Amino acid sequence: MKTFDFVGNRKKFYILSSALILIVILFSFIFGVQLDIQFKGGTILEYTYSGDIDTSKVDSITEETTGMGASIQTANNTLTGQTTLVITLPTSNGLSAESQNAITDALKQEFPDNSVEVLEISNVDAAIGREFLMKCLVAVAAAFVLIIIYIALRFRKIGGLSAGVMGVLALLHDALMVFGVFVIFRIPLDDNFIAVVLMILGYSINDTIVIYDRIRENKRLLGPKASIAELVNISINQSLTRSLNTSIATIIALSTICVVTIVCGVSSIVSFAFPMLVGMISGVYSTIFIAGPLWVTWLEYKEKKAQQNKNSGKGKKK
């Protein structure tokens, strides 16, 4: 059976990952990160209507009435058959009742034949949004720490702590790729981002643990005659079919969801499914091409450092 030298080609994958991360960082600095109203506060006005509405006119009405730019979205509810118009205004203290009524009256006057009616109006406090964001980030950080502890304990016979740290670095790579989707495609950062990251952590680390398990088993079978690089190569090749088959099934399902929701105009699901799709692909990539080879790089560095210290000690004795 033909095998691929993952460890021998690791520099190519390091360069690819570094380039992708650099692109994400550059986009973040150049174009900035769009925060959803959940995290920066504001007012959401949701209306039902019939027929067709020119969203550019809605944008003009909102800006003339409030003096602020707004995010305008339309969507079709396939369950109720209603067409909804959602106006999102970023404000620190929320939109006053007078301004809300002024927007509603202006919309009804501009679109008299479209039966514009208020469905829901809600204010989001910026302080609560920031607190929620911090709690979400703490949850992600706690997940990273628990993963390291779990791997350190489960694989202590093969250097579990370093394996756990390298596994988490691969997960950070996946989280950055998901973040990059939100930044590059100008998707406002909301609770979907946190949900996607946490789900990707579970999917990706599961495949990484499978590979670590194979490494532990192969080390027991082959003993000291196989180097750590050989063990990792053998183990990744043995786990490859299983990892790809499991992930491809999920990727196909997510791709289908993305296509259907884009066609139906369900933007709220697209903003979850598309980053999830990219995160899944990144998870497969990092599990196979990053986690194991990165661990080998670290162990080889430690071994080289120990050898240098040993040689240095011998030189001093002479």
Task: Tell me which amino acid residue 171 is.
Answer: L
Of 12, 1, 2, 3, the C-alpha closest to 293 is: 12
- Pair 313, 36: CB distance under 8 Å: no
> What pLDDT, on the 0 to 100 scale, is given for residue 235?
93
Please write the tens of the pLDDT for every residue from 212-228.
999 999 998 888 888 88
Domains of the chain: 10-31+128-306 (1.20.1640.10), 42-124 (3.30.70.260)
CA distance 85 to 278: 29
> What pLDDT, on the 0 to 100 scale, is given for residue 309?
78
> What pLDDT, on the 0 to 100 scale, is given for residue 317?
57
> What pLDDT, on the 0 to 100 scale, is given for residue 66?
85
Please write the tens of the pLDDT for every residue from 225-244.
888 899 999 999 999 988 88
Coil, helix or strand for 190?
Answer: coil
Local mean pLDDT, 10-residue blocks, the chain (318 residues): 85 96 95 84 88 88 86 74 84 81 92 89 80 85 92 88 93 95 91 89 89 91 86 92 87 92 79 93 94 92 83 64
pTM (predicted TM-score): 0.84
Backbone angles phi, psi at 259, to 5 degrees: -65, -45
> What pLDDT, on the 0 to 100 scale, is given for residue 314?
64
> What pLDDT, on the 0 to 100 scale, is given for residue 316?
60
